[in-house]
């Protein structure tokens, strides 16, 4: 199986020994504590689950700036985005060397992790601006990732962590949430060596379904990992439980048995386009995948990124050999009226706009809200039924 990023073996930060974890929880109750942001909580969960291997905790300012500027920490470790814990006010943990991090996303703010504080640093405005521009390629506060990054505070707390739970993800999505360790074990159990991952924060329509099939066939992989984001999204995005039902409905009906693993991970979407695509590749390598599908506007939002910037970054900015995982470069995929099937648009240079079945997100939502069936060329009827139930319930 493909090696994890940065080490021979995966080093998850979750404390697996029950007795040790119980002792740490008891210790944490007497430690100075702070409620972290949703983004920092998700970072802790991802480190606990092994997705952000080989990190041992939250980055300091030097490492954060290095990853923002050239995708390398001060020690030279390749990492595409800063993994940081920023807060507005650290006065509750002043001078403390060991603290408890509390979860903002679960009632009662339970303890999420124990942290050894190595530094508490103020991030100057010019460095916040530089990080924002490098990560998101825009300073526009209308960009959901930019807004989230710049509204949690500028006090950076760094140091190693020990993760004590997986926040709400394991409890709310018991059939879907999987750690990188669990996915690697499942891949090994299935006897798969070559695995292609499909990243999604949306329900899968027929174009997504066919894209997975194309990648699977063209790469000759043993299986497909459908890996959905279960964390915080922007307003208007479809909730994770609805997406989960849509994807399971599609896979059960239209894919051969034992060819697809349906899983999810606990992270808040950055909407950082190219940089987030590289992060997606890194943690899919940590899952044991050999390939990741990167399509049009991967991890993007609005019109902040070019259609294929998320593919170009792997050629233009990611150092050769930085990752073992390879990407499968996909074009926009849609139903061809001429050919009567779904293909990549680059494979049909003779087609005009009228030869394709296109539906905007706005049109899809409008039709489902009005109880109108989606075209079968766009969505499987079983999937459309699940979506329609959701939109009808929102009236």
Residue 13, domain member (yes or no): no
> Per-residue pLDDT for 195 more than 80?
yes
| 184 shares its domain with 75 | no
Last residue of a domain, one of 137, 167, 197: 167
> Per-residue pLDDT for 53 more than 90?
yes
Residue 155, domain member (yes or no): yes
> Per-residue pLDDT for 233 more than 80?
no
| 112 shares its domain with 251 | no
Active site residue 202: yes
Residue 325, domain member (yes or no): yes
Share of the chain above pLDDT 70, in %: 100
Report the relative pairing of strands 33-35 and 98-102 from DSSP bridges: parallel
Quote the number of domains for the chain.
2
How confident is the model at residue 361, as a pLDDT? 79
pLDDT digits (tens, 9 = 90+) for 154-179: 999 999 999 999 999 999 999 999 99
| 139 shares its domain with 282 | no
> Per-residue pLDDT for 113 more than 80?
yes
pLDDT digits (tens, 9 = 90+) for 274-288: 999 999 999 999 999
Residue 12, domain member (yes or no): no
Q: Cβ neighbours of residue 300 under 8 Å, at least 6 residues apart?
A: 271, 273, 309, 310
| 176 shares its domain with 157 | no
| 128 shares its domain with 254 | no
Among residues 178, 201, 206, 284, which one is catalytic?
A: 201
CATH classification at residue 62:
3.10.400.10
CATH classification at residue 293:
3.40.50.620
pLDDT digits (tens, 9 = 90+) for 199-217: 998 899 999 999 999 999 9
The arithmetic mean of pLDDT across residues 260-274, rounded, is 96
Average pLDDT over the chain, rounded to an integer = 96
Among residues 109, 154, 193, 202, which one is catalytic?
A: 202
| 279 shares its domain with 329 | yes
Domain span including residue 304: 172-265+271-393
- Reported as a pLDDT band with limits 50, 70 and 90, residue 347 is very high
Report the relative pairing of strands 291-294 and 195-200 from DSSP bridges: parallel
> Per-residue pLDDT for 236 more than 80?
no
Share of the chain above pLDDT 90, in %: 92
Last residue of a domain, one of 138, 167, 196: 167
Alpha-carbon span 191 to 278, nearest angstrom: 27
| 81 shares its domain with 159 | yes
| 290 shares its domain with 209 | yes
Lowest mean pLDDT among 1-5, 120-124, 367-371: 367-371
Residue 247, domain member (yes or no): yes
| Beta strands, E only, the chain | 33-35, 57-58, 86-87, 98-102, 111-116, 119-122, 155-163, 195-200, 223-229, 260-265, 291-294, 326-329, 333-336, 341-344, 356-357
> Per-residue pLDDT for 55 more than 90?
yes
Residue 7, domain member (yes or no): no
- Reported as a pLDDT band with limits 50, 70 and 90, residue 359 is confident
Please spell the DSSP secondary structure of 33-66, one letter per residue.
EEEPPHHHHHHHHHHHTTTTTT--EE--HHHHHH
Residue 353, domain member (yes or no): yes
How confident is the model at residue 235, as a pLDDT? 77
| 329 shares its domain with 195 | yes
Predicted structure pTM score: 0.96
Last residue of a domain, one of 106, 133, 167: 167
> Per-residue pLDDT for 189 more than 90?
yes
| 154 shares its domain with 235 | no
Active site residue 85: no
| 254 shares its domain with 337 | yes
| 261 shares its domain with 315 | yes
> Per-residue pLDDT for 110 more than 80?
yes
Residue 324, domain member (yes or no): yes
How confident is the model at residue 159, as a pLDDT? 98
């Amino acid at each position: 199986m493909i090696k994890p990023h940065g080490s021979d073996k995966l080093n998850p930060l979750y404390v697996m020994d029950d007795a040790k974890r119980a002792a740490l929880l008891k210790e944490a109750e007497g430690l100075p504590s702070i409620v972290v942001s949703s983004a920092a909580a998700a970072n802790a969960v991802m480190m606990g689950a092994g997705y952000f291997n080989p990190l041992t905790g939250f980055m300091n300012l030097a490492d954060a700036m290095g990853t923002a500027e050239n995708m390398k920490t001060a020690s030279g470790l390749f990492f595409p985005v800063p993994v940081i814990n920023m807060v507005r006010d650290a006065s509750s943990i002043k001078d403390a060397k060991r603290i408890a991090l509390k979860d903002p996303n679960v009632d009662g703010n339970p303890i999420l992790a124990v942290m050894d504080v190595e530094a508490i640093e103020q991030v100057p405005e010019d460095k916040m601006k530089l990080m924002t521009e490098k990560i998101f390629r825009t300073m526009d506060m209308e960009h959901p990732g930019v807004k989230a990054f710049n509204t949690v505070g500028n006090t950076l707390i760094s140091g190693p962590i020990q993760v004590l739970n997986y926040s709400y993800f394991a409890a709310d999505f018991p059939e879907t949430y999987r750690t990188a360790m669990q996915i690697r074990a499942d891949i090994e159990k299935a006897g798969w060596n070559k695995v292609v991952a499909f990243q999604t924060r949306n329900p899968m329509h027929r174009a997504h379904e066919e894209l997975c099939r194309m990648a699977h066939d063209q790469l000759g992989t043993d299986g497909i990992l459908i890996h959905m984001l279960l964390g915080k999204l922007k307003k208007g995005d479809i909730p994770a439980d609805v997406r989960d039902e849509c994807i399971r409905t599609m896979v059960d009906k239209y894919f051969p048995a034992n060819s697809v693993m349906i899983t999810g991970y606990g992270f808040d979407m950055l909407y950082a386009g190219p940089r987030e695509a590289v992060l997606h590749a890194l943690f899919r390598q940590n899952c044991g995948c050999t390939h990741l599908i990167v399509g049009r506007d991967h991890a993007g939002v609005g019109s902040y990124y070019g259609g294929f910037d998320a593919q170009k970054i792997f050629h233009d900015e990611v150092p050769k050999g930085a990752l073992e995982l390879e990407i499968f470069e996909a074009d926009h995929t849609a139903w061809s009226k001429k050919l009567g099937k779904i293909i990549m648009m680059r494979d049909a240079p003779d087609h005009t706009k009228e030869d394709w079945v296109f539906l905007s997100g706005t049109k899809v939502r409008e039709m489902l809200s009005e109880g109108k069936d989606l075209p079968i060329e766009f969505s499987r009827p079983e999937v459309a039924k699940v979506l329609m139930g959701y939109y009808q319930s929102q009236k």
